[in-house]
Amino acid sequence: MATNTPLADLSAAGVSVWLDDLSRQRIESGNLTSLIEDDEVVGVTSNPTIFASAFADADHYAEDLDGLAARGASVEDAIRELTTEDVRRACDVFRGVWQRTGGVDGRVSLEVDPGKAHDTEATVAEAADLWKTVDRPNLMIKIPATREGIPAITRTLAEGISVNVTLIFSVARYREVMEAYLSGMEQARANGHDLTGMASVASFFVSRVDSEVDKRLDAIGTDAALNLRGTAAIANARLAYAAFLEVFGTERWAALKGAGAKPQRPLWASTGVKNKAYPDTLYVTELAAPNTVNTMPEATLKAFADHGELHGDAVTGTEDAAREVFAGLAHVGIDVDDVYQVLEDEGVKKFDDSWAELTATVSDQLTRRSPEQDK
């Protein structure tokens, strides 16, 4: 059992603590198991940036890379094999958590190729292929909440596949995501899938909102603008939570719940604080609320374990104050719709760039190990 009181308190408050990182080293060293036993960690998220970082440490992948090079595997096939193997092993590590929580937690997320973020058909096909390849019931397939990703979410859920919807920045897009979830679960039920085994989270990004809005507030430079720094991200997430409570309080949801479905919980992503002027646990303390997930980089996790504080439910009932923040932002000239679009475009590009980095790293490793190099 965990001995860190702040993390135990966070878990008791209804927040599922997930780690935003995954690597072969974490799995083989026992670090992932220790985080489960000592730090209340009940899930893991991954993305192309995380895998690009993990694969840079080739020592832990040497045996697999040697085998892939020996049989002449393509770079694409090698990436698929390495990433799915890491995720499969992590799913096995979290199997006990998955069983203990009735499938609510113990989840491990694997993202589709970000290069397909604007291609519905390609996303649906890859989601199905990844689900089949990993072959673990506690897997979640990550699908970006682009316009093309929304129908892919519904179609993937309809096939009985659990989904982590990623790169959500606006409440308007979040509402589309929840609609996609409800439609997908209704179709899954019609298709004969057991809803009790399925789960979904909606990854609502936090710190990147403050980074973009604060930059614009600094450029405006007035006292009214500068006084709003560090307020946008938390207000945005609190409005998202109000939308969550609204949608999952409807009769439509009640019908799915009666069929065994789990609510699609809000997941606070990008919770590492980027501005050093802000408390390093800001996006944990101020977004603690029941039925949420907070996926943290390890630095944030350890910071909260060391000195994190909770002040009860920090989110429920705060929507009026959050709306006032956005009224203030509009008053000083912040175009929040433009902020959201910029962040979505940048988010897809960042993951796409990381995928290119991952491809280059694996290509280099395969070339070094190729039998042709020995001739």
Q: How many whole angstroms from its chain centre is CA 191?
A: 27
Residues in the chain: 375
Contact partners, residue 168, CB within 8 Å, separation at least 6? 145, 174, 177, 202, 203, 204, 205, 240
How far is it, in rounded angstroms, from Cα 205 to Cα 226? 22
Q: For residue 286, what are its two tokens?
A: 């101020």
- Name every residue whose Cβ is closer than 8 Å to that of residue 85 and which is 6 or more positions away in sequence: 64
Q: What angle do CA 93, 95, 100 make, to 5 degrees?
A: 130
- Coil vs helix vs strand at 97: helix
Please pick, among 142, 257, 276, 375, the residue that the annotation labels catalytic: 142
In angstroms, the CA 235 to CA 259 distance is 34
Rounded Cα–Cα distance for residues 141 and 126 (Å):
9
Question: Does residue 142 have an active-site annotation?
Answer: yes
The alpha carbon torsion through 244, 245, 251, 256 (nearest 10 deg) reads: 50
DSSP state of 195: G
Q: Where are the alpha helices (DSSP H) in 221-275?
A: 223-226, 232-247, 251-258
Task: Give the Cβ contact number of residue 39 at 10 Å.
Answer: 22
Q: What is the DSSP letter of 271?
A: -
**Which of 137, 130, 89, 138 minimizes the C-alpha distance to 112?**
130
Give the Å distances, CA to CA, from 273 to 5, 11, 51, 243: 22, 20, 21, 24
Contacts of residue 249, Cβ cutoff 8 Å, sequence gap at least 6: none
Contact (CB, 8 A) for 142 and 113 = no
Catalytically active residues are 142
